[in-house]
Structure 1
């Protein structure tokens, strides 16, 4: 069959569905059938799934002319999804194409949710089209005879590549692809990505720089003009002193009005605890939503999540309060309105969420931005411009992730073993390990066979045997079993299952939260008030709590997000606009706050960097405003506090948010002399950071994850997981051994490198210091706290006070600051 005939088959299928194919879909079909690899850049809801399932099936038809009567079994294509939740939908799309075209191909899913019986069946006979996750693909590579499983595979598609890029799961994919290129030489590699700033680099990482696959590749843009309408929910009365304590709940009536007007509304919160709070408050204030409202986040059990997704599809729910668990791919056309509660901290995430409404080609997406405090309206204004100009973030890929490489080599050693020379060239061809030297490689080989210099005395670290023919292989069944159980790069706090005493699984919560509670205490989770009965075998056993009992809302670690570099840049530009005539509705609404800010201090312009100092009964406050995001401010605050303490013995307590940071002390700083003493110098940043922060403590925490990924510590068996504190102490012991006896250990060095590069964002910190050096430093000695400083001060108070006490305290503070107005 020639290409025209094949395209006719596809076009007719589209016609039968009542659709018309897009130019980007046809461009992808053509490139795929020509044998090319590629990256497809397409927005959510544009038909990207069919852009690749169709040519995969057409390629099979082309190579098997009697496909309708004869079928040759065996794995023909793999579809990688980062989220298990999306597999069912991807499977349905594949089955629709296969069944309608009469191709007789089987479609299967393999993920953590796949039953043992189904896995055993797949081991005997693989489906033709397999939908799986990065972790499950590694498990297949850990199976005996994996090369026979994959040798005839003709395509692999990595969906949502922008989500994997810049994570260790992405590195895991790079390594898997390096192996598959060798054992399945006819395999085409395709990625699907939403818009990111560095698409060209995303393609390099996917295919391997300078590789044959890269040379024969294409980047396809779906030039679909996705219309996104951003509407800010602006309160009638604007506070002159904004604070972040009320989670946006003061605008709950406005949110409810949008819910009432729409068929279906998704309310996105940034963190799971906010999701729980919004669900509770909406239900309390609007009982009529009961039965038509649900909650969806990653810690709620799978059955409930699938039910919610299905109910949205069938228009059975009016409102769903959710987190990023509904950001990706899950396909429901009927969602009419989106409400984003609080700044999403990144343009790409905001656009992804906006795309959940009007989730069909050609439909306009509508997203309402609900600011949790006045300053966030500046974010709303910046996001409007970013959406209009499609300014999106880069995803920065990892380099030299030695822990993932150690895990991968153990995976190959568990299955059929490997010869180092062959694997070295494959690994070196990936983006992550392009700079790997022979010495690095030999160190890693020594590490998996001898357990590194300082651990040579302990047999449990000598995992891989070298056979007489030079094959590296794991022969111990116990080591092999431990390794297979621990494959993966997602390392978090230990999670415990929440179960009713009477039976029935509710979801999972983190160990640190439940460790603060004792039997009889009540907490609210998944919209239910529960009483803790006991914690046993990694399970939290609960019963229904007395409705009148005081309860705590579940919260999770990792609840703090920070601005992306692009978002910070846009926020600064928007802030500078406040000094011009070109005011957006959001900036106009902030007039009372800006007026008050100018009265006490200034609103900085593009050439100015603002520092404010004032005294309250708490002490002497110095506030700096780089507008660089929480993580950069955390590092910058420590750095400047350390530099000031070198000039004069002084101790500070630090507070920071996305806009700035505070140094609070019981003695006054001579700010001018501090500024004159190279306070913002970019010299010695690395060593000053190391001395100012407890960098060793941060690296020690980072090393726990590295130790788990590299298999230095075992996390335990299902249902009998090892407690986080025991993991931490086990990895700490190894960390200290490396620090004292083997400081050039690659995994030990990696812990420090990742702390500085990924956690402290050292690169961004240096850029912000360079920017400040070129600005005029404006030091304002204010009489009292300013509106800009208020959210930072109240954030610090929140750590000490309950929300009711905090609200009362803030009321008094605001009243006292607003005195003497007349």
Structure 2
């Protein structure tokens, strides 16, 4: 264990508050004093952020000698703008109370341009920012002077973005910073890392894991997690919104000082907020927060929460990372958590103190979600985490970084390649791939090099690369970024006040006079002007905006736990009577899916022949499998009609029965049908649109104007068709394929399923729908609607279908008379 002395100024500040410097905080300071990078894994409320900043505060303590030179000393990188602002609030107090001469500022997309310009000329000592803003800073010629004296980079909540494209961008930025300031130390913080060693390797320059100290935090009080169940009702068969819980949830809000309510989508946040508003007879102050609200609306609610003025706040993932509001005494998760690490992170927002247990309530929307919630609770109780695996860095992100480097200064390709390869994400880049990336940035690629607008960098006779024209620097900075949402329009009142953004596709469905609910307000459309949706207050509301995007995936860890619970018959005793009855009748009439089998059921229903595959691979993988199976069914004359999927199962129907599902599940389906399907579907085009925007090939922003979503899609589709025909091995086609395989189709989990499908397959033929099939069958015809909007409509149909599935003519011995009558 590394040891160091705590500066007396810091020790006194802790003592004055009756606190002590915790072991992991002292070890983070010791690692810095020993010139080692550090990876801190500690429970929520353990003082991780302060631990990350402790070496910086120590450097400015008079007891350690003269303060550092003026200029940027420490960069703090956060996945969320809200987290950076929260950290600033909580960091300013100790700095002022210790009397340390430290200036702290934030920089994000919300920062005014004049302040951004001043920060480059006269930087603060500590700058709190995001990966995207950091990358933009590195694109300026003065970045070399700005970062030359940088001593530390602190990466908070590293698990939230290191394994994705934002992590790729940050990894490249770290490599550039290390080249500018060779003595810079890196620190990463997280409460929910499943594999600390993998993150140590990601953090280390050149993958030198020995250069990174692993610091593990003192254990905190175990969380108190409960699962909410309906009063005198059954756990619903289908739906996700869990609106059945609104009366109980409202009573919970009344009992607590402050309740933080998490949903998995922006639509559900608006929907639950509306439902709570309808139930709010006491006019309690309840707020809403999600990423599509305006900056002013988000800041207002964040300030209200910090001051303890709200009794409840409905939020999405926009607030589930590290935000420290100590007065929250209960966290509610509406619907399934999808992963134990995500749940742990959200639970940690309650009683944000290491020695106080965090209290959380899980509200399942249906019976499968009850099992998932139970699995997540068990994982939290046992301290087990899950997370995404690291994958090779994206070529589209690399192209964006190359352009940023060219904007800052001319570069030599060998030197920049060495810099790029010093990060784990891009250690795989060889000279051939590197030349292809440079050729793309320089010309757009073989098929596009005749067009001047794609010629962004040129090579001088001495081998140095530079910008083809200074205007490309401005264009890059206007368009750079990693998050590519669907194109949005601003929702504004006539006076110009912005409420936030809705997707262009939703706005296109509205006509003058239509009403909708957004940001907790009832609004009426006055007109669509350019890319602004002009509204006024309304007396009643209509629809709620929904947003596209990939769904949160069910983690493999939780999927395995759910399957284990389903075959653990002794463990069913802890389940509610209706859930236990559901599993018992399924066990009697058919079989149960477990860790060691792949259950497939076939049965007739409503003049169709159904086959249900219980895969537990998540919605994306099941959607992909549904597409592939229906194609094979068509080739075999089984006359498929369609399919519907959820995280747990896939239901396919047709006019002819599937007598043997094994040929439909052979692994070679991924070698032939998968490639043909993806190339002919919208998936590859959608993936190409994203990589084209990220790489800078297609620009959304121009001085004084912005392309609409239709214009961007038209441009990317046109280029995609040209490249598929004339340059199918183009860098961006390769990048789009990587995205389509990993994100949109979850090909990894699908491949794992099919590799063992035949050996594990159990095919059960039934005379009617099974109990386990009801939750997926009731979604037929509604799967394209926003989650939550059809829950009440589902109730009647689900109960009707369940009556058929649960009918017991010859009941098993273990069902009581009451259960049979129920």
TM bin (shorter chain): over 0.9
- Structure 2 partner of 1:95: 92
- Structure 2 partner of 1:563: 554
Q: Does the aligned pair in 1 maintain the 2:206–2:424 contact within 8 Å? A: yes
1:648 aligns with 2:605: no
- Structure 2 partner of 1:630: 619
1:11 aligns with 2:2: no
- Structure 1 partner of 2:218: 223
Given the alignment, which residue of 773, 792, 796 partners 2:776?
A: 792
1:420 aligns with 2:413: yes
SS of corresponding position for 2:264 = coil
> Displacement of 1:779 after TM fit?
2.5
SS of corresponding position for 1:46 = coil
SS of corresponding position for 1:356 = coil
- Structure 2 partner of 1:183: 180
SS of corresponding position for 2:477 = helix
**Aligned alpha-carbon RMSD (Å):** 2.4
Matches within 5 A, 1:537-576: 537-547=530-540, 551-558=542-549, 560-576=551-567
> Displacement of 1:718 after TM fit?
7.3
What is the distance in 1 between the residues matched to 2:430 and 2:127? 36
SS of corresponding position for 1:156 = strand
Q: Normalising by the residue count of structure 1, what TM-score does the alignment of the two structures yield?
A: 0.93
Given the alignment, which residue of 584, 601, 609 partners 1:612?
A: 601
**Range with greater deviation from structure 2 (278-287 or 484-493):** 278-287
The verdict on how the C-alpha distance between 1:92 and 1:369 changes in structure 2, with shifts beyond 3 A counting, is closer
SS of corresponding position for 2:275 = helix
What is the distance in 1 between the residues matched to 2:88 and 2:373? 37
SS of corresponding position for 2:767 = coil
Q: Does the aligned pair in 1 maintain the 2:70–2:125 contact within 8 Å? A: yes
**Range with greater deviation from structure 2 (403-412 or 632-641):** 632-641
Q: Deviations over 1:647-690 (max 9, x none)?
A: 43533301111111011112222x23x43xx4433345232322
SS of corresponding position for 1:40 = strand
SS of corresponding position for 2:667 = coil
- Structure 1 partner of 2:302: 309
The verdict on how the C-alpha distance between 1:52 and 1:790 changes in structure 2, with shifts beyond 3 A counting, is same
- Structure 2 partner of 1:157: 154
- Structure 1 partner of 2:755: 770
Matches within 5 A, 1:658-807: 658-669=647-658, 671-672=659-660, 674-675=661-662, 678-683=663-668, 685-693=670-678, 696-717=681-702, 720-775=705-760, 777-799=761-783, 803=790, 806-807=794-795
Q: Does the aligned pair in 1 maintain the 2:642–2:654 contact within 8 Å? A: yes
1:251 aligns with 2:245: yes
The verdict on how the C-alpha distance between 1:409 and 1:63 changes in structure 2, with shifts beyond 3 A counting, is farther
Q: Does the aligned pair in 2 maintain the 1:162–1:196 contact within 8 Å? A: yes
What is the distance in 2 between the residues matched to 1:615 and 1:631? 26
What is the distance in 1 between the residues matched to 2:584 and 2:153? 58
> Displacement of 1:604 after TM fit?
3.5
Q: Does the aligned pair in 2 maintain the 1:272–1:323 contact within 8 Å? A: yes
- Structure 2 partner of 1:84: 81
> Displacement of 1:36 after TM fit?
0.7
Given the alignment, which residue of 276, 280, 294 partners 2:287?
A: 294
- Structure 1 partner of 2:574: 585
Q: Deviations over 1:317-361 (max 9, x none)?
A: 211122112201111011111111110111111111111112112
> Displacement of 1:522 after TM fit?
0.7
Q: Does the aligned pair in 2 maintain the 1:537–1:719 contact within 8 Å? A: no
- Structure 2 partner of 1:534: 527
What is the distance in 2 between the residues matched to 1:499 and 1:179? 40
> Displacement of 1:784 after TM fit?
2.4
Gaps of 5+ in 1: none
Matches within 5 A, 1:306-345: 306-345=299-338
Matches within 5 A, 1:143-542: 143-211=140-208, 214-237=209-232, 239=234, 242-244=237-239, 247-288=241-282, 290-542=283-535
The verdict on how the C-alpha distance between 1:89 and 1:546 changes in structure 2, with shifts beyond 3 A counting, is closer
Q: Deviations over 1:93-152 (max 9, x none)?
A: 433343333332222222212222222222221112111111111111111131111111
- Structure 2 partner of 1:124: 121
What is the distance in 2 between the residues matched to 1:532 and 1:326? 29
What is the distance in 2 between the residues matched to 1:4 and 1:613? 67
- Structure 1 partner of 2:56: 56
> Displacement of 1:729 after TM fit?
1.4
Q: Does the aligned pair in 2 maintain the 1:53–1:97 contact within 8 Å? A: no
Q: Does the aligned pair in 2 maintain the 1:378–1:587 contact within 8 Å? A: no
SS of corresponding position for 2:400 = helix
What is the distance in 2 between the residues matched to 1:679 and 1:469? 58
What is the distance in 1 between the residues matched to 2:583 and 2:511? 47
Q: Aligned pairs, how many?
A: 805
> Displacement of 1:410 after TM fit?
0.8
SS of corresponding position for 1:795 = coil
**Range with greater deviation from structure 2 (98-107 or 32-41):** 98-107
**Range with greater deviation from structure 2 (553-562 or 142-151):** 553-562
The verdict on how the C-alpha distance between 1:710 and 1:592 changes in structure 2, with shifts beyond 3 A counting, is same
Q: Deviations over 1:144-166 (max 9, x none)?
A: 13111111111111111111112
Q: Deviations over 1:179-237 (max 9, x none)?
A: 111110111111112222222111211224444xx442211111323411111112244
SS of corresponding position for 2:371 = helix
What is the distance in 2 between the residues matched to 1:240 and 1:133? 41
**Range with greater deviation from structure 2 (802-811 or 748-757):** 802-811
SS of corresponding position for 1:535 = strand
> Displacement of 1:18 after TM fit?
2.7
The verdict on how the C-alpha distance between 1:618 and 1:127 changes in structure 2, with shifts beyond 3 A counting, is farther
Q: Does the aligned pair in 2 maintain the 1:635–1:693 contact within 8 Å? A: no
> Displacement of 1:605 after TM fit?
4.4
**Range with greater deviation from structure 2 (765-774 or 235-244):** 235-244
> Displacement of 1:249 after TM fit?
1.3
What is the distance in 2 between the residues matched to 1:361 and 1:746? 48
